[in-house]
Structure 1
Amino acid sequence: MSQSAKSTRTTQTSDVPETAAGGRAAAQRLKMRRELATAAMELFATKGYEATTVDEIAAAAGVARRTFFRHFRSKEEAIFPDHDDTLVRAEAVLNAAPPHEHPLDTVCRGIKEVMRMYAGSPAVSVARYRLTREVPTLREAEIASVARYERLFTRYLLGHFDEHEHQVGNDDPLLAEVAASAVVTAHNHVLRRWLRADGQGDVEAQLDHAFAIVRKTFGAGIGAGRTQVAGGPEQNGAGAAVSTRSEGEVLVAVARTDAPLHEVMRAIEQALKK
């Protein structure tokens, strides 16, 4: 066997254990975080949040105090063990989005990762919801977690539109930020309704319905301004996804082959209204 072949084989076989070990370590970390969260919720429910100490949570989970602080910075964080990992998964959805997918649709798919986190353990999610309603500190921690998702989705949407190019007729940056808030609000509304129903019902179908309303309300507006700026290059077809012009009683529409159908139809509808 040649030296290069030996080297290749050595590299290939050494990569596998490292990857497997990394996966096992991540799984063990999440398992421990969930065990600590379960212990914390049980103690909060029986002793009360204020009366429960970190030492008691660690003892109930069968670990040392220092182990607790390797996973959580405070006891209120302990009842949200999955948010960090879910945020990573949601961001991965955004990063892997197909190039022609409407960014609002991508965001809706991304936030579904959050709903799946809750729906994966209905009993735990319902218990946590009740607890956060009773303890203001936990409620504040939950709000902070939601804000992280909203910032992620807002950055993603704004990344498709240059905020510094805002001009008359182009409200994309404003719509992007409002739409991100609307997606998060729709998600939270459906989630709260599902939790108040003790985790019963097809929550994903309810979420799809809510997202359809958001897309209908905000999605049609994002991108529309780029075909409407008077005297801009879009009306001359330069760089625009869709451009329209009237020639007497004839409407001429020019669209890139990769332009989404909804943008083509919207541009035509708006031109006909003039």
Structure 2
Amino acid sequence: MASLDRSAAPMRRGRPPGTSAREVEVIALRLFADQGFDGTTVEQIAAEAGVSRRTFFRYFDSKAEVLWHQFDAEVGRLRSAFGAVAADVGLMDGIRQVVVGVNRYGAEDVGELRIRMHLISTVPALQASAAPHYDSWERAVGDFAAARLGLPADSLYPLAIGRATLAVCRAAFDRWVACADGDLTSYLDLALSGLARGFA
């Protein structure tokens, strides 16, 4: 597994006081980074967090869902932000502004985000579980496009815009994780600007 910089997201060892779903998530990410996703069991995560296996499954449906939890939360933030885009902002500019804005992370969160995105993009088990999560992200974008274009959400253009947007964002995330040489939003802005121009 590639070495990852976790200095920006310190992860405490041992049981946090009043262990919550978020704290279990952080412990799981540390174990995934140290041992690999496939090499880490639910039992190990629960023991490290000081909770039972049953408690783990009250928080998360599966080990994979630990990695998708924050991704799914982003979908809600996207939908809220799309609802606030001014009517005079163009469709693709609105998408770019929202996606870039939702993906502004503080320095303390960058290390954790790199770990999460590296795992999602490289672990076969996570890639196999990706479809419903990617679909909900695409549909958040597609629904905004449909409203702006006056088209049904399941018509061609909104679906194409949603999928194309996710594709360029995934490329931006992959390069950001691999290069570790700049702010994520600069990669997203460049990729989404290229999409808006048709990469002409």
Distance (whole Å) between structure 1 residues aligned to residue 35 and residue 46 of structure 2? 15
Amino acid corresponding to residue 204 of structure 1 in structure 2? T
**Post-superposition offset of 1:211:** 1.9
The answer to whether residue 160 in structure 2 is matched with residue 178 in structure 1 is: yes
Match of 1:217 in 2: 198
Q: Residues 208 and 36 of structure 1: is their aligned pair in 2 closer, same or farther, counting only changes over 3 Å?
A: same
Amino acid corresponding to residue 88 of structure 2 in structure 1? H
Match of 1:245 in 2: none
**Post-superposition offset of 1:125:** 2.4
**Post-superposition offset of 1:47:** 4.5
State the TM-score, normalizing by the size of structure 2: 0.73
The answer as to whether partners of 2:24 and 2:49 remain within 8 angstroms in 1 is yes
3-state SS, counterpart of residue 201 of structure 1? coil
Higher relative contact order (CA 8 A, sep 6+): 2
Distance (whole Å) between structure 2 residues aligned to residue 215 and residue 47 of structure 1? 40
**Post-superposition offset of 1:95:** 1.3
Distance (whole Å) between structure 2 residues aligned to residue 118 and residue 144 of structure 1? 28
Distance (whole Å) between structure 2 residues aligned to residue 35 and residue 214 of structure 1? 37
**Post-superposition offset of 1:92:** 0.4
Residues 223-243 of structure 1: per-residue CA shift (max 9 Å, x gap): xxxxxxxxxxxxxxxxxxxxx
Residues 76-121 of structure 1: per-residue CA shift (max 9 Å, x gap): 1112332232221111011122122223222222322553359762
The answer to whether residue 105 in structure 2 is matched with residue 123 in structure 1 is: no
Match of 1:232 in 2: none
Amino acid corresponding to residue 60 of structure 1 in structure 2? E
Distance (whole Å) between structure 1 residues aligned to residue 197 and residue 73 of structure 2? 30
The answer to whether residue 91 in structure 2 is matched with residue 109 in structure 1 is: no
Structure with the greater alpha carbon radius of gyration:
1
**Post-superposition offset of 1:141:** 3.1
Q: Residues 194 and 101 of structure 1: is their aligned pair in 2 closer, same or farther, counting only changes over 3 Å?
A: same
Distance (whole Å) between structure 2 residues aligned to residue 113 and residue 146 of structure 1? 19
**Post-superposition offset of 1:192:** 0.7
Distance (whole Å) between structure 1 residues aligned to residue 122 and residue 191 of structure 2? 27
**Equivalent residues in 2 for 1:233-272 (5 A)?**
none
Match of 1:190 in 2: 172
Distance (whole Å) between structure 2 residues aligned to residue 182 and residue 212 of structure 1? 12
Query: Which residue of the other structure, out of 43, 66, 81, is the alignment partner of 1:55?
Result: 43
Could you tell me which runs of 5 or more consecutive residues in structure 2 were left unpaired when the two chains were aligned: 1-18
**Post-superposition offset of 1:60:** 0.9
**Post-superposition offset of 1:46:** 4.5
3-state SS, counterpart of residue 79 of structure 1? helix
Query: Which residue of the other structure, out of 143, 147, 151, is the alignment partner of 1:159?
Result: 147
Amino acid corresponding to residue 133 of structure 2 in structure 1? S
